[in-house]
Amino acid sequence: MAKGFRQKIRQKNTENSGFGDNASGRFINKDGLPNVTRKGVNIFNRFSWYHTMLDLSTFQFLSYLVIAYVLVNLFFAFIYYLIGVEHLTGIDKSDPVNEFIDVFFFSSQTFTTVGYGRIAPVGFMASLVATFEAFLGLLTFAIATGLFYGRFSRPRAYLKFSDIAVISPFKGGSALMFRLAPFKNNALTDADVIVSAAIEVIENSVPKSNFYTLKTQLNKINTLALNWTVVHKIDEESPFYGFSEEDFKNTDIEIIVHLRAFDEVFSNTVVQRCSYISKEIIYGAKFTPMYYPDKENLSTVLDLDKINDYQKADLPMMMEEK
């Protein structure tokens, strides 16, 4: 990196990035969440379990529910078995395995408050445990219902970002580009994007992260129906002006993307973030089209499998900073 470039970065340092100069590592993970580890509080205060359950994938969420349901019933079945199967009527006492199976299904019937009636508790301890389990089941299913509703009704952007950014030819020069596209049938309007960059520089033998805002050719669109290629032209005002392929490879760079749009169905604003680090920036490439007309030429096909497709492209000779 040229010395003049370092001076330019210091002059254009921005203070609204949300990260300090001494922050290290990747700032925004690929899932859009900040790469921050919190200490000083216990684990129960460190995480919002409600937000955690809402952010899980559908498979993870359902898997956790099923596993928790099985474990809880195994726990209560073990308690009933310790109390004694003689305190439960209708148990198959032919062998211990059948006894435990019957106790497990009695626990599941009690936990869900179904209560078929073939097996019933007899005595104080068995009835007390069954009463507590039924109460716990009511609370648990109320919480699970709330989580299901929260996941179903929560507005999301449902945007897919390209895994890579590219340095492409653009208007006689070059530009940094990445693209995004909606992957569900939600209607997003008034979408605007803010692109920031973090560059690690060495000052007095100490690494330091400088942040600044990248100007984009178009930072707002009325309707986000197809893919949107966000373009930052590398000109004299760009911090990447004069950067060679080696500079992009050898400099710690992170492009931080913050997108906000209005969801017409929920009448609410949705937000999604993404980032690209140096190894995810491909020099001398351009994206290939990812949408085309259908066979009858009556509608447009958006092929999301092509969001990362690119081809090599020759860049014009870039002017070096003096």
Same fold, 3-30+163-312 and 43-153: no
The lowest-confidence range among 25-34, 97-106, 148-157, 258-267 is 25-34
Query: Is 11's pLDDT higher than 50?
Result: no
- 43-153: CATH topology is Helix Hairpins (1.10.287)
pTM > 0.85: no
Dihedral over alpha carbons 139, 144, 149, 154 (to 10 degrees): 120
Contact residues for 275 (Cβ-Cβ < 8 A; gap 6+): 26, 27, 28, 29, 30, 254, 255, 256, 257
Predicted confidence (pLDDT) per residue in 248-297, tens digit: 998 899 999 999 999 988 889 999 999 999 999 999 999 999 999 988 99
Dihedral over alpha carbons 238, 243, 248, 254 (to 10 degrees): -10
What region does 86 belong to: left with phi over 0, alpha with psi -120 to 50, or beta? alpha
* Domain ranges (residues) in the chain: 3-30+163-312, 43-153
How many Å apart are CA 126 and CA 63, to the nearest integer? 30
Please state the CATH superfamily assignment of the domain spanning residues 3-30+163-312 in this structure. Answer: G protein-activated inward rectifier potassium channel 1 (2.60.40.1400)
**Predicted local distance difference test score (pLDDT) of residue 320:** 44
For the chain, the distance separating the N- and C-terminal CA atoms, rounded to the nearest angstrom, is 13
